[in-house]
Chains A and B, each alone.
Chain A
Amino acid sequence: MSGRVRLAIAHLGAALPLVAILALIATGVTTVLGPGASLFATTLFINIILVVSLQVFVGNSGIVSFGHGAFIATGAYVSGLLTLPVEVKAAALPRLPEFLAAIELPLLPATAISALVAGFVAFLVGVPTARLVGAAASIATFAFLVITNGVLVGAADLTRGTQTFYGLRPLASLDVVLVGAAAVVAAGLAFRRSSFGLRLQASAEDELAASASGIDVRQLRLIAWVLSAMISAVGGAFLAHMLTSFAPSTFYLTQTLALLTMLILGGQRSVTGAVAGTVVVTAVFEGLRRAENGIDLGPLHFSGMFGLQQLGLGAFLLIAIRLRREGLLGRRELTLNSLFRRRHQAERPSLDLSRDGNHVAGGVER
């Protein structure tokens, strides 16, 4: 076996513990909470896909992205257009181009195509903006989200504009989504540990030093951006086929903030952290929803009606941040290596940053 193949297997194998945990969660949830909970489990795994896709970009490049909702939407609308039954399309989208109106694909090919479209868009947008960092980059991603939202609303012939895009077949079964989540997690871990990922993380730590070492930072950022866009689209496609109806607002500010919350709470530096954060926030939100006995809408939905839910979630977040500043897991990953490695005792630092109030002056976000 060549070195490369062995390395690839090592990367994938390293993901085993996490994947195993995901499978456990899936079976555990459905057996303990009953079949009604399969909706919750499906939501959870879709969220995991979406948050890990964010992690691939944010966690490696250090740039907070508000723009991934655009790719999630791309995944949803493109795959939806491809899987929608022809009769529904004729009724809901009378002015579709001929080739789209006639086509009806199964979920997986549609998802794959939507991922390619998202990747292409990401590439187009990423090339001019790859040089931005920090707050400027984040603003650019936010602008991208707003622009995409506007396009979705405006291209009513394809998307039904602000009206609900409905009639999708409920193709996102728990099995499919679970496999998808496992694959995405493995991919995220592999990327993070690959030479691409490592070089990108180095550049996020110290851009000057990295580029002096010959690392082409822009190219790496672009790769991470495109890859994460494609994964987001996959998540978006699954989300669309679970919800079976949606609108541009589904993929706008509320969802963006929710996903960012899950990522940052868990610790954006690691895939394991992203997963952990997603699980915790989704579970807490679900728990609060049941406690409040509200209306069953399935996916995470910060709506004004769920007052107690949001309040509770916000309070929970503040407390969690207070207790664990770097996110739940910081930078640690759960991999085969980490399970068998011995822990060193870290000395307690004498520098008490919380009291000193030191902060990094300047505009960079890490």
Chain B
Amino acid sequence: MKAVLALENGIIFRGNSFGALRETVGEVVFNTGMTGYQELLTDPSYYGQIVTMTYPLIGNYGINTEDLESLNPKVRGFVVRELCKAPSNWRSTRTLDDYLKEHDIVGIEGIDTRALTKTIRDNGTLRGIIAPLEGFDFDKIYPAFAEFSVTDAVANVTTASVKHFPGNGPRIAVIDYGIKTNILRSLLNRDCEIYLYPAFSTAAEVLSCNPAGILLSNGPGDPKDCQPAIQTLRDLYGRKPIFGICLGHQLLALAKAADTGRLKYGHRGCNHPVKDLKKDLTYITSQNHGYSILHESLSGKPIEITHINLNDNSIEGVRYLDAPVFSVQFHPEAAPGPKDTAYLFDEFMAML
């Protein structure tokens, strides 16, 4: 079936539909990872987004039952250059196409993803619609762009209730803004006991398990949309050691009166070099974010930059000088991507 991807600026790409056949609207972003599509699809941080893979051959190793970062795919749509119809990998249980159909996720293939990526790079993130070609009329669908906005993203992906994962080591309270499973696995592998809290829990609720430390997870959207969560962090600050990842990192900064802003087209991929300023070593990191902490907003505050992005100098990690609190913008839990910064979990453990 023919389909189109229409961008709000009027640029239209033609391709073929796969996965669910219907209309979908979302923010079009690109990811430069060459592997890891299954992890991406199920990463809750992509909630509300249509994800384009810059690597052209997608679906080659199929879908397995293990590499899920949440129970089901969270993307609004998936754009690839060439979908593999006959995947091959010993763990694969089905094709990408079947998987997306099963979960009612719209996909489009056969488009010039490099041209699309350049469009996003040059214009900044754009809204887009994937729709069947038949009966497609740009003017008719145009209002859909305006109507589209991602609201309550975090509310839509956070856990509904408190969850407990037993372990023999330190007890960690994890606030779930849309957590990737591998963050939990990273803690469980270090023998932690985990209490997982919904995003909008109060400080008292989070502290009720008497945790040794608190971990703030990744999650979708603009951090400023999460005011109640920011308030909770203000209350928690200084009470326990805290480690924030991605959205957690941004929310913490907002809680401490720093500011965040939107990046032109975000960082999404597995190859971003981040320098750990203390170690004076650069690590290749897994990233997925559209917002970041603003440099100016840190001045005069007891916040120290610990990590910077070597490509664009953006802030990748900070340490709070008046409390045992630190956070990073990238994903030390990897999945997908390099595991080079897993040492941060160990640093967190050492703080407890």
| Bound together | no
